[in-house]
Amino acid sequence: MSIANIALVGNPNCGKTALFNLLTGSRQKVANYAGVTVERKLGQFALGENTINVLDLPGAYSLNATSPDEMITRDICMGTHDYGFHPDVLVCVVDATNLRLHLRFVLELKALGRPMLVALNMMDSAAKRGIVIDVEKLEMELGVQVVSTVAVAANGADRLKECLRADALPAPLIDPQALPEDQHQQVRRILRASVSMPRDTSALDDGLDRWLLHPVFGVLILGLVLFFMFQAVYAWAAPFQDGISASVQWLSGQAGQILPAGILLSLLQDGIFGGLGTVLEFLPQILILFAFILALEESGYLPRAAFLLDRVMFASGLTGRSFIPLLSSYACAIPGIMATRSIQDPRDRLATIMVAPLTTCSARLPVYALLIGAFIPRQDVLGWFNLQGLVLLGLYVFGIVSVFAVALVMKRFNKTKSDHALLLELPSYRLPNLRDLAIGLWDRARIFLRRVGGIILTLTVLLWFLSSFPGPPADAVLPAIEYSFAGRIGHFLAPLFAPIGFNWQIVLALIPGMAAREVAVAGLATVYAISSVSDDTGQLGAVLASQWSLATALSVLTWYVFAPQCISTIATIKRETNSWKYTGIAVFYLFGLAYFFAFLVYQTAVWLS
């Protein structure tokens, strides 16, 4: 009988995830614990002839769980709940540069009496800081096997893998008196015996924090970082975008040469290449944005931002801890909403969940980028700043302001007092690991491409079908599309949206656009491609620029700042809040704000022009 299942457990910021990535590479899967909405990260790696399953448990400071994800860690370590995974060995990952904090948890886990070993991670950082650890002494003092790992090095987990070759690992002897105070005393004793630290803190951390946490400079730097991020998203993506656009157009042209003119060609050119191609163009922007978010996360900067913003967030009824889930929502609100599990206070958690859809998720990017690209001139402002990038930033800022404003309003409705805990660790700064970044980006690209090939393709084909059938009668006067199912549906619903300047094509695209925001882009591309005379399937932006007024474009942009055009997000809210009432409130207020502000913007723009 050999070891088959291991669980990685440890404090937050111990490099557990990097170790997990090192062990499993891309053979990992994110799923759900049955009955609970906490993410489960399961992976595998080969050891000799066996395959070992690795479960990456949520980081926890203690088995006294204070938030839903800590409860999962507790339940699996203690074996009190069956989540379908039974670890043979607990691999307790600790940060070698901060054993004072991490060893206490090891002692707590040791008291469980389960087979375990300690992975002394970040040994490279420890060495750099001049920290000397006598691993054998440490093993002796702890009574548990200790193995050093360097999660950022290619061979950093080799010793760990060697240990896992054993048939089984011994369970530690349990000490019946395990009070917290005693645990801290024990940790001190162990540290005195086996570790020498020249400094309490890293000089780098101290130096960086002096500026990055400075009351004035810190906030300025934060603003600059975010600003730079959004400028980069536009500027760096442009060449890739053009490349993808050109490729799709070329493919479409080739299809025109191979197939005879007819309905099938229309499906390919107008529906698939036109619709999907337009959405695919935005992959570079999404990846660049996500790369920044990941890099910031890995570097340890995000908790600093949370520290700077906590006061503002607290005043709005949120918490500094909301910052990280909200920032994740900039990639996609779904994992962002799920990340609120780390917020202990249920009221803070609910507030964060309710405002998360207002953050400008990456699915909005195609819509924004399309309209900004079509209606905002490519100019430079003050010689430095790109006007399009500025408008994009403006939309993001609008989203952020609405997050705070809505949270503030919700605070008024929810007057109950409770203990709002922050208690946030600011870990050491570290250089983002390129391999982990690459894995994260690859994951993101894969998810995006799956969406394109999945729901977006499906709905685009259906929308194309509805827009092409039935064909126009022989004595047709209007463009063919007006006679189709889609045309009729669109015209039927259009009066509802006339006050906000939406034409029937927009209204039509919004319907399948409920499944995913990008579908609206594909939908518009398809609908306009079918209505157009020329064979040119690209350049939806140019078509829109000639057909819509600026007021309409601004109105659509505003609509998209608020409208929850994403069934999956709504479903996630329902799951995380476990309440139809709050989900209903969220949907209602989001659509309400969308209509209201789109109305304002449209009427104002019309009045001004």
Burial of 443 from C-beta contacts in 10 A (0-12 / 13-18 / 19+)? middle
Token digits of residue 577: 């809040």
Minimum Å gap between C-beta 501 and other proteins is 30
Q: Is 465 in the site for other proteins (CB under 8 A)?
A: yes
- In the list 5, 53, 66, 145, the residue contacting other proteins (rule: CB under 8 A) is 66
Nearer to other proteins, 187 or 372 (CB): 187
- Closer residue to other proteins, CB minimum distance, 50 or 185: 185
Rule CB under 8 A: which of 327-366 touch other proteins? 331-332, 334-335, 338, 344
Q: Which residue has the tokens 């935005």?
A: 282
Considering only the stretches 146-154, 177-185, 492-500, 598-606, report the one whose residues sit in contact with other proteins under the rule CB under 8 A. 177-185
Query: Applying CB under 8 A, does 264 fall inside the site for other proteins?
Result: yes
Residue among 53, 62, 547, 579 that touches other proteins (CB under 8 A): 62
Tell me which residues in 4-43 interact with other proteins (CB under 8 A). 29-32, 37, 39
According to the binding rule CB under 8 A, does residue 426 interact with other proteins?
A: yes
Q: Which is nearer to other proteins, 281 or 310 (CB)?
A: 310
Give whichever of 349 and 444 is closer to other proteins, judged by the CB atom. 444
CA separation for the pair 386, 381 (Å, rounded): 6
Phi and psi at residue 132, to the nearest 5° = -110, 125
Q: Is 523 in the site for other proteins (CB under 8 A)?
A: no
Which H helix or E strand runs over 116? strand 116-121
Structure tokens at 120: 């002394």
Site for other proteins in 532-591 (CB under 8 A): 567-568, 571-572, 574-575
Sole window of 176-184, 475-483, 541-549, 595-603 interacting with other proteins (rule: CB under 8 A): 176-184
Stretch that binds other proteins, among 391-399, 443-451, 495-503, 539-547 (CB under 8 A): 443-451
- Per DSSP, 59 falls in state P
Smallest gap, in angstroms, from Cβ of residue 584 to other proteins?
16
Give the span between the Cα atoms of 544 and 556, in whole angstroms: 12
- Residue (of 93, 54, 58) closest to 73 by Cα position: 58
Stretch that binds other proteins, among 45-53, 86-94, 120-128, 212-220 (CB under 8 A): 212-220
Q: Which of 16, 74, 104, 349 binds other proteins (CB under 8 A)?
A: 104
> Which residues does residue 146 pair with via DSSP β-bridges, in sequence order?
118
What does the block give as tokens for 583? Answer: 């989900």
d(CA 336, CA 302): 14
Structure tokens, 73 = 């860690």
| 71 is a contact residue toward other proteins (CB under 8 A) | no
Tell me the two tokens of residue 136: 């054998």
* Residue 462: both structure tokens together: 């259906």
149 secondary structure, DSSP code: -
CB-side exposure of 524: number of CA atoms within 13 Å?
29
Binding flag, residue 112, other proteins (CB under 8 A): no
Among 26, 51, 418, 458, binds other proteins (CB under 8 A): 458
Residue 275 contacts other proteins per CB under 8 A? no
Shortest Cβ 64–other proteins spacing (Å):
6
Rule CB under 8 A: is residue 205 a binding residue for other proteins?
A: yes
Count of CA atoms in the C-beta half-sphere (13 A) of 344: 13
CB of 569 to other proteins, least distance (A): 9
The three-class DSSP label of residue 26 is coil
* CB nearer other proteins, residue 175 or residue 206: 206
Closest CA relative to residue 201, chosen from 426, 433, 431: 426
By CB atoms closer than 10 A (0-12, 13-18, 19+), residue 1 is exposed
Q: Which of 74, 341, 451, 517 binds other proteins (CB under 8 A)?
A: 451
